[in-house]
A and B are shown apart, each in its own frame.
Chain A
Amino acid sequence: MHHLVIDRWSRGSSPLHQRDPRAKLAALLVFLIVLSTTPPGAQAAFAAYAALLIATASLARLPIRGLTGRAALVLPFSATFALLTWWSGDSLRALALAEKSFLSGMAALLLVGTTPLTGWTAALESWRVPRMLILVIQFVYRYLFVIAEQAQRMRWAALCRGSGMGSKTGRFRSAAGLVGVLFARSWQRADGIYHAMLARGFHGRFVPAAPAPFGTSDALFFSACLAGCLAIRLLL
């Protein structure tokens, strides 16, 4: 399934995987801000950004085709708006919309493809993002696929019992019943999780494995990203 791909990517051992998540997150933000302020029509700059991303991806030994394929998920949305903009007579801007959203998506994928969730949430926590939010992010990610698979099974079971047939009100009601039961099961699961956590000595926060200190190579990596982005933005 879907989540396994990113989780598998993020467990690699390339030089990029070993960089401190804080350096990678900061580099992502720099790239996105520089990209966002690039004027539409600077095609050379967009090509250079793409080259930079592809070079970084091959440094991280990530599959380029898988990466571009996943980043292309944003294209249906941006293509719709790009068409509307093009229609209103602004073809440069239309092209820029598609380019920017695609490149941004790819950059974000490079971060999560080389950093496990615990890594980037630890980086967020060190930047004073509220601990409660971090905890909820970790729990949502942990149980996302568990509950989604349960929902899928329940949907199939309901279809087997003939929930796809009958009057529209009946089907509507049966869908509502599914949501209700899914809710009840999620609630009970949360209860069970809490007791299991207590039994394992949970006291209000997850203790991450001792993080590696922010080293020279991390600083070098960030500076290189900063220099690369600024060079493209200012020179092209």
Chain B
Amino acid sequence: MHIPDGFLSTPVWGTLDVVSAPAVAWVARRAQRDTQDHRIPLLGVMGAFVFAAQMINFPVGPGTSGHLVGGALLAIVLGPAAASLVLTAILVLQALIFQDGGVLALGANIFNMALVGVAAGYLPYRLWVHQSRSGAIFAAGALSVMTSACLALGQLLISGLRMPSGVLWASLGLFLVNALMEGAITVAAVRAIERLNPAWVTGPRPASSRTLAGVALAALLLVVVGTLVASALPDGIQRLTGQGLDSAAWSQRTIAGLGGLALIFTLCYLGGKLISRRRSA
């Protein structure tokens, strides 16, 4: 979910720009240190690969298809710092050239997808890769997409965007479905890559501490859940104290929520069709 300009309130985009700028500088330094010269074109081509791999449709569910998002895959293949850098470069290009995400909102989008999204993809892989390889990769893909989406939603809500609570729950459900899809697709893609050349998927360096990774992952998830709850709850509390649980109002809300979900789904579907037709034309 790329947030365009005009959606976030000034304190929110300002803070996230201020947070993301030094974080990207740090990631770039780290990536430069870890990267031999010959990997510079590799990072760029991998960015282009992620763009292109999003054109390949995976059949999921009846009549629908999904595609790779790629944050977790990059983190597994290139390591976290390089993956963050590549995703940052992609986001900059998307904001300026493809009108996908805003320029002032770039800090927010980088924070959600390139920084936290990659960390949420790398940490579970790092933690569980020795217990269950497929499980770790699945968790990497799913958590990376879920945390990015929840953070974006939280930031929109904090910025004062209001949505009926039915729609809020529906979009959380939609995020969950997307996350599970990304997990499955990431597992399949990593397996396919390994079959061609196992050396391309390097394991995490054994030196780093697993406890630290576990604590970091737990902290990350707590922050994401906390952001979401903090941004959504005032509304919920207000609703509970304001009017109680009236069953008629509830059913109305449910219907409104389902209607909203159907509307979003239709709009996204049509938008996707339009864009894919334009791209392939």
Contacts and interface: CB of A to CB of B under 8 A. Distances in A.
B245 interface: no
Contacts of B184: 172
A136 interface: yes
B49 A147 contact: yes
Interface string A80-100: 110111011110010011011
B99 A36 contact: no
A109 B98 CA distance: 9
Interface in B82-107: 85-86, 88-90, 92-93, 95-100, 102-104
A67 to B, nearest CB: 11
A151 B256 CA distance: 40
Interface string A133-160: 1011111111110111011100100000
B69 to A, nearest CB: 12
Interface stretch (B125-133, B143-151, B224-232, B273-281): B273-281
Main secondary structure of the interface of B (DSSP, over half): helix
Interface in B2-50: 2, 4-7, 10, 13, 24-25, 28-29, 31-32, 35, 37-38, 40-49
A144 to B, nearest CB: 5
Interface in A174-203: 175-184, 186-187, 189-191, 193-194, 197
Interface in B40-71: 40-49, 51-53, 55-60, 68
A136 B39 CA distance: 10
A64 to B, nearest CB: 16
A136 B102 contact: no
Nearest to A72: B99
B51 A33 contact: no
B275 A73 contact: yes
B272 to A, nearest CB: 9
Contact of A137 (B89, B256, B278): B89
Given A73-B275, A151-B52, A142 B44 contact: yes
Interface stretch (B134-142, B194-202, B208-216): B194-202
A137 B90 CA distance: 7
A108 interface: yes
Nearest to A143: B48
B189 A176 contact: yes
B172 to A, nearest CB: 14
B56 A100 contact: no
B45 to A, nearest CB: 4
13 contacts: A6-B97, A78-B7, A111-B96, A112-B96, A130-B28, A148-B55, A168-B59, A175-B58, A177-B192, A179-B56, A181-B196, A183-B193, A183-B196
Interface of A: 2-3, 6, 28-29, 32-33, 35-37, 70-71, 73-74, 76-81, 83-85, 87-90, 93, 96-97, 99-101, 103-105, 108-109, 111-112, 120, 130-133, 135-144, 146-148, 150-152, 155, 168, 171-173, 175-184, 186-187, 189-191, 193-194, 197, 204
The 5 closest A-B pairs by CB, nearest first: A139-B44, A100-B6, A180-B192, A176-B188, A104-B5
